Amino acid sequence: MTTTASAVRFSDRLPAPVRDETAQVSRLLGELQGRVDWSAVFATGTPWVDAVRRQPAPFWAMESVLREYPISSAEGLALMRLAEALLRVPDTETALALTADQLGRADFSGHAADGQAHPMLSGLASQAIHLSKKLLPEDGDAPNGGGLLQRLGAKTVVAATVRAIQLLGRQFVLGQSIGEALTRADANRRANQPGAALIRHSFDMLGEGARTDADALHYGRAYADAIRAIASKGRPARPEDGDGISIKLSALDARYEPAQFATVAERLMPRLLDLVNAAAAANINLTIDAEESERLELSLVVLDLLAAHVAATFPQWQGLGLAVQAYQTRAPEVIDEVTAIARRHGLRFMVRLVKGAYWDGEIKRAQELGLAGYPVWTDKRHTDLSYLACAQRLLAAPEIYPQFATHNAGTIAAILEMAKAHGTPFELQRLHGMGEGIYREVMRRPDAPPLRIYAPVGEHRDLLAYLVRRLLENGANSSFVHQLADEAVTPQMLLASPLRAPSRSVLPMPLQLFGAARANSKGVDLAAERERLPLLASLAVPMPAAPNDASVQGAAAAMDALHAAQRGWNATPLTERCAVLLRAADALERRTSEFAGLLAQEGGKTLGDAVAEIREAVDFCRYYAEQAAARLAPQTLPGPTGERNELRLHGRGVFVCISPWNFPLAIFAGQVVAALVAGNTVAAKPAEQTPRVAQRFVELLLEAGLPRAALALVCGPGETVGAALVAHRRCAGVCFTGSTQVAKAINRTLAQSDGPIVPLIAETGGLNAMLVDSSALPEQVVDAVVQSAFRSAGQRCSALRLLCLHESVADKVLEMVAGAMAELVCGDPANAAQSWAVDVGPVIDAEAHAGLSRHIARLEREARLIARTPLPERLAGTHIAPVAFELKSIGELREELFGPVLHVVRWRGAVDALVDEVNALGYGLTLGVHTRIDDRAVRIAERARVGNVYVNRNMIGAVVGVQPFGGEGLSGTGPKAGGPHYLYRFCGEQTVTVNTAAAGGNATLLAGGLN
């Protein structure tokens, strides 16, 4: 099968991912006008609610768990955290610490009260948990004392807790193997329950999305085995009549991303076609599960390619399906597009309509990317409304067999009412272990449609992420399942019509994330072709000529001129200085494409890194303008009557700002605008490798109204031009980002000066470590490691250099890291044909390449090679392939380096000793921590001597005003860039005291104190 990246494009037919929510809600309300009689819906759903509350679900069912331990409570949160992590912990010490840490945060002693649904089971469970808290060590780390009895008791309780979580998980996973799942499914059908003959299943093989190709092949085999097992039960007359399978495309290919369509076409499609062929031959249904919004168009491309194949090879098969998420604002148009694909190929699709499972992640992604809005509805009632609009489309489309997946009694009743006008065959769906009470009542109806149970299958260690996601979604205060368990919520409230929901968004838009203080910088959604194409076009624009290097004499002349202009610039009203920064921010934001092209060509930036850097520069401009307005204006200080005291801040003089090549726009801009807004004039020396980016930003500042005399771009070698600027008698301060060695040289020069004491703001490098214990989620760790160590070709100050893995999980994590490294794409970001797909670009120049090559050669002799990313031969002269080595000890890491080289050590024992070893390296910039033991994370952060600590995430990409950035020790002087203390370092201070009573007495006091 031949596929190309341009084979199918949906961008022109689907609307933009982000649209005005208010307008879209109004449109949906118009579509549904007169289509749904909500009084009939209420009349249908109320008896179901009453019946479920009279006869609650079994103790371990979702409704009962939520009634007993709501997720909003400390007890519910503790159980959720234990369920997420405990089963994967291989060593006893960490299991003890995790259990003590989580159970110690809650009080289970009051959960055996009379009147609860299952007082005996509830009481026993609560007493066991309460007892375990007494037996477990109080310290959040491994137990070191308390006697043999305590330790034996603690282990016993942990074992019991593990077993309890396994039992809980069993309620939400149908079987640990497909054979076990099929056996339990048959037993469920044979049970005496309403509508048992109408029950089918859709089996889903549990697991996180693949991080490695080995993972993808494993999941592919699991899917293939499941299809064979289902087929062995007999061939159904129609696909909808029997059990089927759901597959996740991100599990079949580790790079299931829009940017990697070539890989998807070459590697995923053959695997997928094998599964489709097997399902079609057995006449069973195969549904492609939903993914995150940025993969939506890719999934539609894949569906279209599959449809073409099915039409040519199995034209009579009607079992190909797709899950559509109603919480996406484009869901109705997706239904239209899926219908059009089916019609074009002469097929019928099965479409599972779900509300959606990644809402919180979609919200965070939009905020982090600085999108204009959200790709999902911000109000659950809007999702319910969208669901009904999508249902109307599905019921009206003869090319679709609708499958309505929901646990909401109101939505189910509305579907039954809407279906009366169409006569379209359809089915309902629920998750295994959830919604049992409501569907028990629904299936009592004589006209009940078939019910399909979405049934996860997998080992207990694979269920964790799935289980916690289900707990969070259904335990949220706004969820129907949560409210069903709360009898204080009346049926009128529970079954309220979404047709009466307010149309406005309930969340601030991503660009208003920081409220009235400042606008969030506007980003680019590279997954949206409309936004991506202008950036790719910019790569074809030739770079401007580089500015000429200054001579030592020219640098001195620039310093004298800046000194002469400083008094006038400092006298410029603070409001106008701030306004220059704000105008520059707006202008830079408008020219994102232009600067992205320049960063890719001159700095070797990938498109994603270029956009992020432009946004950081915009944020610096706005943040420092906001901070200056709030902090640099004159302040009246308290004092005795008859006296006025005022604190004034002013520029120090001429500031020398020396910036590096790794962030040639963001760091250059941040240094310069901070110094300028404080009232200084600035001599800005960019890195020799990236002068064009600096020159373009200086031009932008001048266009924004900055007086030309206030800023001089002084290019040239650091050892001559840079040294001359620092040593000049007019230098009133230095802001430097670069190597520790150069920072020390600058410090010595300033200290030896005979003139005034000159401040130095230095942000230097680091040997940044990430500490991982055995409670961490391996998939999350691998994502964080690969991003932190290899994004930007490892050329970030904050990049991960030293990965410390607990010995009990080291082998597994390193195997996954090696597999993930094999998936990275090295390439030229400045080449428009490949730019979007590039993960790792070149190192900055030949000198950096040579230094890194020497370091790697030494490691090849002295350390154990873990993995090396394949490097196309054409890139050998400009790229360093991402590589990882295992060291015997932390002490073997002897030098700071800038590049995609990861060092790994294993650790055991007390984590405090490990933190001390990292501190002993002398650097203190960033530290990553991966653990589910909250007390341990707190202790590590308190003990570590670093500027930025990141827990359970990557350790790069600090956001201005959110994660102020900077280190200590060998990593810098502070204050932190992008933080509330930064501007003060650029200022001189003056206090003016005026005796207001000097002219004859205190008139103000006398006027108020005499009769």
pLDDT in tens, 898-957: 999 999 999 999 999 999 999 999 999 999 999 999 999 999 999 999 999 999 999 999
The predicted-structure confidence for 596-623, as pLDDT tens digits, reads as follows 999 999 999 999 999 999 999 999 999 9
Cis previous bond, 756, omega within 30: no
SS3 400: strand
Average pLDDT, the chain: 90
Calpha distance 579→571 (Å, rounded)? 15
pLDDT grade for 110, boundaries at 50, 70 and 90:
low
Calpha distance 503→286 (Å, rounded)? 36
Calpha distance 746→719 (Å, rounded)? 10
Mean pLDDT in residue range 782-805:
97
The predicted-structure confidence for 669-694, as pLDDT tens digits, reads as follows 999 999 999 999 999 999 999 999 99
Hey, which residues does 880 pair with through a beta bridge? none
DSSP secondary structure letter of residue 264? I
- CB-CB contact of 481 with 63 (8 Å): yes
Calpha distance 223→245 (Å, rounded)? 8
pLDDT grade for 140, boundaries at 50, 70 and 90:
very low
Q: Which amino acid is at 65?
A: V
DSSP secondary structure letter of residue 972? B
Q: What is the pLDDT of residue 487?
A: 81
Q: What is the pLDDT of residue 141?
A: 47
Q: At what angle do helices 807-822 and 778-790 cross, to 10 degrees?
A: 60
Cis previous bond, 964, omega within 30: no
Write the CA distances from 126 to 58, 105, 165, 671, integer angstroms.
Answer: 17, 14, 14, 57
b (16+ CB within 10 A) / e for 178-207: beebbebbeebbeeeebbeeebbbbbbbbb
- CB-CB contact of 100 with 139 (8 Å): yes
Least confident of 138-147, 418-427, 798-807: 138-147
Mean pLDDT in residue range 894-900:
89
Alpha helices in 2-37 (DSSP H): 21-32
Catalytic residues: 763, 797
- CB-CB contact of 375 with 402 (8 Å): no
- Output the CA angle 982-984-985, nearest 5 degrees: 75
Q: Residue 864: phi, psi to the nearest 5?
A: -100, 125
Q: Residue 601: phi, psi to the nearest 5?
A: -75, -45
Among 691, 762, 750, 742, residue whose Cα is nearest residue 726: 750
- CB-CB contact of 298 with 334 (8 Å): no
Residue 515 is encoded by which pair of tokens? 């409220």
Calpha distance 269→275 (Å, rounded)? 10
SS3 452: strand
- CB-CB contact of 76 with 82 (8 Å): no
Which single residue is written with the structure tokens 């289509």? Answer: 35
Calpha distance 989→967 (Å, rounded)? 25
Q: What is the pLDDT of residue 1008?
A: 73
pLDDT grade for 57, boundaries at 50, 70 and 90:
low
Write the CA distances from 539 to 298, 535, 700, 832, integer angstroms.
Answer: 24, 7, 20, 6
Mean pLDDT in residue range 303-311:
97
- 772's enclosing H/E stretch is strand 769-772
Q: What is the pLDDT of residue 3?
A: 38
CA atoms in the 13 A half-sphere facing the CB of 382: 26
b (16+ CB within 10 A) / e for 436-456: bbbbbbbbeeeebbbbbbbbb
54: burial class by Cβ within 10 Å (0-12, 13-18, 19+)? exposed
Least confident of 371-385, 491-505, 614-628: 491-505
Least confident of 153-162, 180-189, 403-412: 153-162
Calpha distance 400→353 (Å, rounded)? 11
- Output the CA angle 701-703-707, nearest 5 degrees: 65
* Dihedral over alpha carbons 935, 940, 942, 948 (to 10 degrees): -120
- CB-CB contact of 419 with 425 (8 Å): no
Hey, which residues does 402 pair with through a beta bridge? 351
Mean pLDDT in residue range 399-425:
95
Q: How crowded is residue 576: how many other Cβ atoms within 10 Å of its Cβ?
A: 9
pLDDT grade for 147, boundaries at 50, 70 and 90:
very low
Least confident of 484-493, 561-570, 582-591: 484-493
- Output the CA angle 467-468-474, nearest 5 degrees: 90
Q: At what angle do helices 147-170 and 119-135 cross, to 10 degrees?
A: 140
Q: Is the pLDDT of residue 572 over 90?
A: yes
Hey, which residues does 886 pair with through a beta bridge? 864, 904
What sign does the CA torsion over 493, 499, 505, 507 have?
positive
Query: Which of the two residues, 115 and 832, has the higher pLDDT score?
Result: 832
Contacts of 833 (CB under 8 A, 6+ apart): none
Q: What is the pLDDT of residue 139?
A: 47
Least confident of 54-63, 178-187, 547-556: 54-63
DSSP secondary structure letter of residue 793? G
